[in-house]
Chains A and B, each alone.
Chain A
């Protein structure tokens, strides 16, 4: 399982290099061929056993949300903008890595002593925050950081149940969507009836850009997207649905903002989960979007589905997911793909 390496690799949208290196290392011996396309997608072919003529694409995105340095102040403090969907409220006081050398920095905010009445009730917008690498001048800072450098949360991967007491949860950054990448890598251990194109996409967080061009290049008959989707289980007073729940199995999308899943594929996934007597959940419809949003509109259309590993606190420095959910997702996808080969 490559989740730890994948999670700790830096790969903000548009600069996925380190994540791509981990992926290539992981798949090299498992696939017949692979290539990196013009915008950085890894497109790998696992040849089928020849019993099915289908061409199936399974996608997971390798990019993560993060920051880009926009300005180095005379003081040596760094201004930044957000790359992908980040909630301003979670940014202050977080530790980050900047650039390929992983220069450590912290997102600075003034100490509580200096705040005025009422000030603490309002979130601080990201353009009022700075990243501080401890440099005392622009000249010093420029020795380590350039305008245009990327930054991401500095988070180590942690097993939350190291003694194996049974809850099997882990914490880390970028599970969205390195968890999907980890599942996809596991799927490559099996040969399927058809040619399987495993595509590790770039720039999903900025608008499904890698998926769009890779789907055009692959031109598949069917497609699946593997994701890590938000689980929100913070208690509410009202009887309303959490998007997904940790430990309740793979989340199958019926519809989100980006696409309506192909009903036959959804049924295939549900039937397979039930035959395997495995937990699964229907993701709360209408929220989020995934690479399927771009893939299903490619060329003459591609019937598509999305399966997600639920993750709490995604798009933050510390998300939590269940390895049971991840294992179930691998199992569900492997069996569903084998069945798809018999269609």
Chain B
């Protein structure tokens, strides 16, 4: 999550720099900024999917758990 937050900060900076450059009449910076922003988004998405998958695997291996308010949070296992 921290890595995604760091990448997001870079993306915010990139957007503000691209906008500033566009308003200054410099149109050449828009393409590399968009490509780099797209790459950063794909990395964020990949990290999120990776963490979700690892999380699901860990929950599956641990078995049934309980949430804060006591609800059953167990993963439904398929019967053989």
Partners in one complex: no
Interface residues of chain A, those whose CB is within 8 Å of chain B, are none
Interface residues of chain B, those whose CB is within 8 Å of chain A, are none
